[in-house]
């Protein structure tokens, strides 16, 4: 049973700590019947300066975020796009945890299932190959122009998933089914 309906999610953040860092950019792509049917993309003002190393990685600069809305103004639209569909992402628990934190802080429910292309790559790619999104896309011949920008990474993750499914989905069906995403967080005071 090939999963053809999901939302591909990618975030750019100020760092790797859900408790300390903030979302800078959201890219989400709704896929139904294997085809992209909707998308959502926005910068998010983190309320602080973008660390230099993040600007070097993503190209996102402070001046790009000056007029961007805060996460409280965009989380509802993002969750609306997600609806009841499972999430797909490369290390999806990372992106999910940031969105869940934002949802909980706004008093919203956000319990999801997900499919992680990183886990699939760890299972199916040779051990000597790097498994980050750029390396996995290169290995499977997926174009990743605009890497480390949320919407580009989300589209590339969708294409990577399609390649993985075509190559291994029939023989390893269980690996391609959504699993509960578990991240516990309390509302910030």
Residue 3, number of CB atoms within 10 A of its CB:
19
Q: Is the distance from CB of 161 to CB of 153 less than 8 angstroms? A: no
The C-alpha atoms of residue 103 and residue 80 are separated, in whole angstroms, by 11
SS3 97: helix
Q: Based on the residue annotation, tell me whether 148 is a catalytic residue of this protein.
A: yes
Q: Is the distance from CB of 14 to CB of 98 less than 8 angstroms? A: no
Q: Which of 90, 148, 152, 158 is catalytic?
A: 148
Identify the sign of the CA torsion 176, 180, 183, 189.
Answer: positive
CA 172 to chain centre: 23
DSSP letters, 1-36, are -----EEEEEEEESSS-TTT--EEEEEEEEEETTEE
> What positions carry a catalytic annotation?
148
């Amino acid at each position: 049973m090939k999963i053809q309906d999901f939302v591909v999610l990618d975030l750019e953040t100020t760092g790797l700590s859900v408790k300390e860092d903030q979302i800078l950019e959201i890219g989400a792509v709704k896929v139904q019947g294997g085809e992209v049917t909707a998308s959502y993309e926005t910068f998010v003002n983190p309320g602080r300066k973008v660390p230099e190393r993040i600007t070097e990685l993503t190209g996102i600069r402070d001046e790009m975020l000056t007029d961007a809305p805060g996460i409280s103004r965009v989380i509802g639209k993002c969750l609306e796009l997600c609806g009841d569909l499972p999430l797909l992402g490369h290390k999806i628990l990372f992106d999910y945890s940031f969105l869940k934190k934002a949802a909980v802080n706004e008093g919203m429910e956000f319990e999801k299932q997900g499919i992680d292309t990183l886990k699939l790559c760890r299972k199916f790619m040779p051990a000597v190959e790097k498994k980050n999104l750029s390396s996995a896309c290169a290995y499977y011949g997926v174009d990743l122009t605009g890497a480390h920008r949320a919407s580009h990474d989300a589209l590339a993750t969708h294409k990577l998933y399609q390649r993985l499914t075509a190559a291994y989905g029939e023989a390893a069906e269980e690996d391609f089914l959504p699993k509960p995403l578990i991240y516990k967080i309390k509302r910030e005071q």
